[in-house]
Amino acid sequence: MAILIAAGAYAAWVWLDRILIQAQLRANFPFDILITLVLLLYTIAVVLDPHNRIFFEREIYERESQNPPSE
């Protein structure tokens, strides 16, 4: 879930910067929107794929088993 939030927040930050801060829009504006949407959709597909979910859960388990919580 953190990956999805980070990807969405980064895309929003980049586009807010482009729209509010930069003086003028570049000529490749439609291409930039398309690429942003494609990459966000790809990120969502990868993170929510059940096969990849197993990988992410295994990574968390391995990290926790290497560093047990100290009490």
pTM value > 0.85: no
Instruction: List the domain range (segments joined by +) for residue 35.
Output: 2-66
Classify residue 71: in a domain, yes or no: no
Classify residue 31: in a domain, yes or no: yes
Distance CA 37, CA 54 (A): 26
Distance CA 3, CA 42 (A): 12
Classify residue 49: in a domain, yes or no: yes
13-18, long-range: CB within 8 Å, 24+ apart, which pairs? none
Query: How many distinct structural domains can be found in the chain?
Result: 1
Classify residue 14: in a domain, yes or no: yes
Q: CB–CB of 46/52 below 8 Å?
A: yes
Nearest to 30 by CA among 18, 20, 41: 18
Taking only the tens place, the pLDDT of each residue in 8-67 is 999 998 888 888 887 776 778 888 889 999 999 999 898 888 877 777 676 666 666 666
* Per-residue tokens: 69: 């919580």
pLDDT at 53: 73
pLDDT at 70: 60
